[in-house]
Each structure stands twice: as C-alpha cells, then as structure tokens.
Amino acid sequence: MKYPATRRLALAWLASLACSGTTALAQAQAWPAKPIRLVVNFAPGGAADVIARAISPQLSLALKQPVVVDNKPGAGGNLGSGEVAKALNDGYTLLLSSGGAITINPLIYPKMGFSPEKDLASVAAVSRVLVFLETNPSVPVNSVQEFFAYAKANPGKLSFGSPGQGSSPHLAGEMLKRMARIDAVHVPYKGAGPALTDVLSGQLQFWFDPGPGLKHLKDGKLKLLAVGSAKRSPQYPNVPTLAESGLAGFDADSLFGIYAPAGTPAAIVNRLHDEINKALQVPAVVEVIKGLGAEPAPMSREEFIDRHDKERERFGELVKDLGLKLE
C-alpha cells in the first residue's frame, strides 16, 4: 500500500524512535561495561570528597566495575559540574556535588555556560550535611555568646573560610554576620580541605565546618561552639544550635547528591539510584558520613528533586539581599 508523503515521514519517524528506544534499552542492559568516573567538584579533603570515597567502593562492588573518584575543583564547583553536564550521557560520568553548587550557583554566576537544572539529571541524594561553627583555639572564647561579643569588639579583624562563594558554609557565615550583627572577612577556597588547613594554622579565626574538621576537636586544635542547623546534631547533642543561641531560624544545612548528564537512560539512572540507596545502608559508609557530623539521606528521586526547590527558595533571598554575583 502506498501512503501519502506525510504519512510515510511519520511512519519513518516512529520506526526510528522505536529503533533508538531499543538501542537505548540494549545499552542500558549492557551497562556498565567499563569503569565509571565519579567527578567531585571540590578539592580533596572536603565533605563531598570524603563521601564520594566512602560510597565508590560499594558502588564498584554492586556494579562490578571500578568507580573512580576524580576531583575537579574550581569556580565554586562549576568546573566539575560543567564537565559532567557536557559529558556523554552514557552512564560512565557522574557527579557528586553539594546542593549549593547545583541550586545556588545559578543565582550567583550569570555566565556558567550550562544549566544544572536542564543539563544534569538528579540521580540520588547521599547526605544531609550540617555545618558547625568552629574557631581556632587562639580565639579567646568558649561559647557562642562570648564569640559574638569578641567579634563585635573586633570589627573586621576576624576572617572565616569556606569551600567557595555560594557554598553552604559561605552562606552560613553571611547569615551569621547579618543576624548577629558582626563584621568579618570571607575568604573563599576551592574546597573545605584547603579552608580547614588555614583554620588549623590560625590564618583564619573561624569557619562553618561541613564536617572534615570535627576529627580535630578531641586534640583541641579546633573549638566547636554551635551547630548551624535547625536542630541539634545527634553526634553532638550537648552543642547548641545557633537558633537556640539567639539567631532564630538559622539553618544552613545542605543536601549532597549524585548527578548524571541529562538524557542518561532512565534504566541506568534508576539502577544507580537503587545501588546508591543500598550503599547508604552499609555500616562502613554510614560511619564515614556520621564522622562528618552528617546524616545519610536515602530518598526517592522525586523527594531529591523537591529538596532542590526548597533549598533554592531557602537561600535565594539571602543571595539576592547580598547582591552576590560572580563572573
């Protein structure tokens, strides 16, 4: 039977669509057939890096292929995020990122060169990362109230570091400055690891720690004053929140997660989501995450995406008020 030209074109399109769908399904079924690269968009030693190195061995076992962590710090996480956003969507390049680099950076960087919302697929949440207000021991304070008083008596003389502009530790510091009415200088780094080094050395007087510095509390190299979350940390139940300390509503938690290039086959994304959630139940992984003062955060993809919207709303007004824009 001879069909009109438009009908023949439609049939040809449907046939090609069916063929591409079959090809995608076959690729997904064969995946993974080679090592997987897990990009971390911050420097070694930070929370994202520590979590990635805890999860990757479990994913390697489950997927029967090496999952190799590759640190790509820079531009507040945009360098690594952009590299993954532009990678082949075949399931062999993934990203482990803080929530801020995905939800807040588009509000800060007008020329990112990619859109996290459009160019990255949200695969799975991995951890709710808290931030802890810590000082170098040289700062003569032992409580939040003493810290506020000391900072007010020394306006502009205190410096705090962060993993980068727009990161949750940076925004926590800006929230602190505004709500406590203190003046301090922000110093951005390419990750929490380098910032921690300078807090330990005394070059920085305080910071909001996303977890890597907690191991230095026992030997007195850092002093923990408060938790920058809506509620107390289960690991440090006797440490007050800043909300309890007079800064009502203070909450600078961030949700870290794993992403893939947009268009990655749904079968691969779903498999990764399920395996990541299983990894978050492995005691060794839980121990590492809790060692950062964080909490494992297994959830559905729908819940993960919904959290992006809430995080964007929670920090967006602060970013706008600060007039924070970077090239």
pLDDT in tens, 97-110: 999 999 999 999 98
At residue 119, the 3 state secondary structure works out as: helix
DSSP 241: B
pLDDT band at 14 (very low <50, low <70, confident <90, very high): low
With cut-offs at 50, 70 and 90, classify the pLDDT of residue 313.
confident
Does the structure show a pLDDT above 70 at 7?
no
Q: Over range 232-244, report the average pLDDT.
A: 95
Q: How far apart are CA 74 and CA 83, in angstroms?
A: 11
- CA 323/CA 327 separation, integer angstroms: 13
Q: Which residue has the higher pLDDT, 145 or 14?
A: 145
pTM listed for this prediction: 0.84
CA distances from 161 to 98, 101, 149, 218, 315 (A): 17, 17, 20, 21, 19
Give 50-106 pLDDT, tens digit per residue: 999 999 999 999 999 999 999 999 988 999 999 999 999 999 999 999 999 999 999
Q: Is the confidence at residue 146, as pLDDT, over 60?
A: yes
With 0-12 / 13-18 / 19 or more C-beta atoms within 10 angstroms meaning exposed / middle / buried, residue 202 is exposed
Rounded percentage of the chain residues whose pLDDT exceeds 70: 91
Residues 6+ away with beta carbon under 8 Å from 261? 84, 85, 86, 87, 88, 89, 93, 119, 120, 121
